Amino acid sequence: MTKKQLQSLAKQHGTPLVIVDHDEIRRNYATFRKHLPRVQCYFAVKANAEPAIVRTLYQAGASFDVASLPEFMLVYENIKKLPAKAQQDFIWDKIIYANPTKPKETLLALDQYKPLVTYDNVTELDKIQKFAPHAGVVLRLAVANTGSQCELSNKFGCEPGEAVDLILAALKRGLNVEGLSFHVGSQCTNFENFVQAFNAAAAVMKESRERGHEIKILDIGGGFPAPYNKHVRPFPELARVINAEIDRLFPKDIQILAEPGRFLVATAATSVARVIGKAIRNGKRCYYIDDSVYHTFSGIIFDHCQYPLQAFKGGKTEVCAVFGQTCDGLDCISQSDLLPNLEVDDLVYAENIGAYGSASATYFNGFPPAKVIHVNE
């Protein structure tokens, strides 16, 4: 969006404000499908669970990765008026519950929908057998997360060497083992992680086949990097690596799916905030804005991201610090943004803030999250 459009929306709706551009979401979805033609795209709802975003991707033909019952029901809202068979077909074909550890209450609620769910240990298998026996199961592998922004294999995934034993354990419990999954870590810029993971998955599939069970689904997780800065290698480069490994290792009858989150929504949102204070501290100009790391900029804390602030007004820039509106010393948005001399009530904006920002916003200090508006729905 243009600066003029952002300023106009801020004037109309006030600040703090997050503007989500649905045309950008559609472009990102189309890019993903174009460059990974064998891969079914399951949007990771956790990245941004705005109902309007889920609706846009549903209308575009996307599938969905959910990690909680509320996320599942958010997707279900889009299909609840379909005939029963169409509902069940959509759930089976286009939703995966990709959180390996689930409360028994969630499994009980999910069982009637017969979804795909992930697991990585015997305890989870016992819960699924008891509380969601109609679910299909997908075994999660632990794989290398080297260099990824957020590592996940320290929390989830079985070792490849124990994988087939866990597959056979599921079969002995009468469960339907549909596939394997892995996750190379969020915002993965080390493409070798994918190469290693594909080889590990292929080896597990081979051993499983030799021991009597054919795996038909491979979920390659998320980790597809958003272009936050010039150092992030272009998505087509990663796609070439992934396509080559898929074609080399997996026959055409293996269904490949993926769980992009930030890749689809990060670049689709821009935040606009207002300067509410300024000071000079240790010789550095400091600005205070009406947003914070407990709100739209929570990705700084939870997601290890940086969102450089920019000014609408011109002028000579200098290195400045920017703090949020809360009373907490942790609430530092940046110590090194290049900004001109701003005054109270001037506006600033940050791009590429559509993933894991609003999604993890809080009400700390009593400040509500920024208003979210949607354009080009």
Which positions are catalytic? 327
- Tokens of residue 332, six digits: 């530092």
Peptide bond into 133 cis (omega under 30): no
Sole residue written with tokens 């989500």: 20
